[in-house]
Amino acid sequence: MQKRVGKVYLIGAGPGDPELLTLKAVRALALADVVLIDDLVDRTVLAHAPQARVVPVGKRGGCKSTPQAFIEKLMVRLARRGAVVARVKGGDPFVFGRGGEEVLALAAAGIECTVVPGITSGVGVPAALGIPVTHRDMARGVTFVTAHTRDGSGPDWAALARTGTTLVIYMGMQRIVEITAALVAAGIGSTPAAVIEHGTTAAERSVIGSVSTIALQAAAAGLGSPALIVVGDVVALARQAVPALPQQRSA
């Protein structure tokens, strides 16, 4: 008898609120034998997979993380043993989630993979605060960028400032002073900006100000990772936005 080969569902769990999980994600979780779950995913989503063994494979900035190579080898090993694996990531697996790396590793090993998209934090978190990342009269585009790269290099902030698009910056809190200084130098110091910590969850807090003030405001409020930095005129549409004054919001 030919040995059954399992498969992997690469699932985006959304920006934080477990109710933002998609119906397709719920169905995939119900099929799983094993769930490999990231650190930032709300554990209540596991209610959709009561039958599964749960393996935490956390990744959080500034903390000890599960090596990416280990996660990829584990998925392959489990699938080759016939398991249905649900790999659950925060946000969307293909937006700064290393989902592309994992799909390639699975394909190279001959393992079937189904990608289940999720609401990326870069859209869902600002939206929950009333910030549209695009707007016909204020921002005809949006740029998603990470401040954390494998080689330690940073984006060309001056070039990004010149695009005139809304900037949504992932993993930028450790470099927020450097980032905002570069944007101020590029001439957009007065542009509205926000920092949103633990977006869409009960622990959400935010500050609204300008590019020139937001780093100090975030520090004064004690905000840290995980958080998004949003820069653009659309930030002025945020609920209770008071430019240049520290604000924080709790659910």
Rg of the chain in Å (alpha carbons)? 19
Instruction: Give the three-state DSSP class for 34.
Output: strand
CA 26 to chain CA centroid, Å, is 19
Quick check: is 138 catalytic?
no
Q: Which residues pair with 93 in a beta bridge?
A: none
CA distance 209 to 59: 29
How far apart, in Å, do the first and last CA atoms of the chain sit? 55
Q: Is 171 a catalytic residue?
A: yes
**Residue from 42, 89, 171, 173 carrying the catalytic annotation:** 171
Helix and strand numbers, DSSP H then E, in the chain: 7, 10
| 233 catalytic residue (yes or no) | no
- Please, is 63 exposed, middle or buried when counting C-beta atoms within 10 Å of its C-beta (0-12, 13-18, 19+)? exposed
Q: Which helix (H) or strand (E) holds 169?
A: strand 166-170
The catalytic position among 17, 42, 59, 89 is: 59
| Catalytic, out of 38, 75, 89, 92 | 38
**Residue 89, C-beta contacts closer than 8 angstroms, at least 6 positions apart:** 10, 11, 12, 13, 38, 41, 97, 98, 99, 118
CA 228 to CA 99: how far, in whole Å?
Answer: 20
Q: Give the residue numbers marked as catalytic.
A: 38, 59, 171
